[in-house]
Amino acid sequence: MSRAGALLAREIALAWGRGGGALVAAGFYAGTATLLPLAIGPEAERLAAIAPGAAWVALALAALLSLERMFERDYEDGALDLLMLAPTPLELVCAIKCLGQWIATGAPLALLAPIAAIALGAPPAMAPLVFACALVGGLAFAFLGGVGAALSLGARRGGLLTAVIVLPLYAPPVIFGGGAMDAFSGGLPWGAGFALLGGYAAAAVALGPLAMAAACRNALS
């Protein structure tokens, strides 16, 4: 197995071995979808109107739960120092860590997103678009979350600081994905919103590892 493949397998194993992987995020996601009808009322028409957007916002919040330990555990036990000295570029290491985060947490949440949306009253025909938006948006959430996790390395209450850094960066994909689903439900062209979401995710994948590597080097210096 190549070094990159071994690192990816390690990140996925750590994500599931410490903190339950997608189980905690999925539980939070299911809890949010369950509590929402209790808060706004059980009327089917009202729930159907907000179902896609509510499921999308809940996905963004659930993605925050496992970000704190993305770099912190390696920083604490010295593994991050070894990774920085390894032949593999630190930027690639950061990208692999985010990819592992997305596979372990983002992809399972994307599978739950259509179920949550339909349970809240969204039409079943919207399920493929909800899944696609959640899958692409989850990739953006993982790489943007990695930036926040790297910038908060060594800080007290790093999880709170990560959330403060990341939440503004989560706003564009929430807007683009929510806009695409709202246009679909209204019978309007939705391709532009989905294209903007894909472009934002691609920018996060391309630029995020550079920012993460710089933040890690700064924390270790």
pLDDT digits (tens, 9 = 90+) for 53-93: 777 777 788 778 777 678 877 787 777 888 888 888 889 98
**What is the tens place of the pLDDT at every residue in 200-209?**
999 999 999 9
Range of the domain at 73: 3-220
State pTM to two decimals: 0.87
Give the whole-number percent of the chain exceeding pLDDT 70: 91
Q: At what angle do helices 107-119 and 22-40 cross, to 10 degrees?
A: 20
Considering the chain, what is the average pLDDT of its residues? 82
Q: What is the pLDDT of residue 200?
A: 95
Q: What is the pLDDT of residue 156?
A: 67
Across 136-151, average pLDDT: 90
Is there a contact between 183 and 200 (Cβ–Cβ < 8 Å)? no
- Contacts (Cβ under 8 Å, ≥6 apart) of 59: 29, 109, 110, 113, 134, 137, 138, 141
**What is the tens place of the pLDDT at every residue in 164-195?**
888 889 889 988 988 888 888 888 898 999 99
Is there a contact between 194 and 132 (Cβ–Cβ < 8 Å)? yes
Across 142-163, average pLDDT: 80
Indicate the pLDDT class of residue 1, thresholds 50, 70 and 90. Answer: low
Q: End-to-end CA distance of the chain, in Å?
A: 31
Q: With a cut of 70, say whether residue 18 has pLDDT above it.
A: no
Indicate the pLDDT class of residue 132, thresholds 50, 70 and 90. Answer: very high
Q: What's at 176, amino acid-wise?
A: F
Q: Is residue 53 left, alpha or beta, with left meaning phi > 0 and alpha meaning psi from -120 to 50?
A: alpha
| Number of structural domains found in the chain | 1
The residue to which tokens 């209790």 are assigned: 38
String of DSSP letters for the chain: --HHHHHHHHHHHHHHHTT-THHHHHHHHHHHHHHHHHHH-S-HHHHHHHHHHHHHHHHHHHHTTTSTHHHHHHHHHTHHHHHHHSSS-HHHHHHHHHHHHIIIIIHHHHHHHHHHHHHTT--GGGHHHHHHHHHHHHHHHHHHHHHHHHHTTT-TTHHHHHHHHHHHHHHHHHHHHHHHHHHHHTTS--HHHHHHHHHHHHHHHHHHHHHHHHHHHHHH-
- Contacts (Cβ under 8 Å, ≥6 apart) of 77: none
Q: What is the pLDDT of residue 19?
A: 52
**What is the tens place of the pLDDT at every residue in 21-42?**
567 777 777 777 777 777 776 6
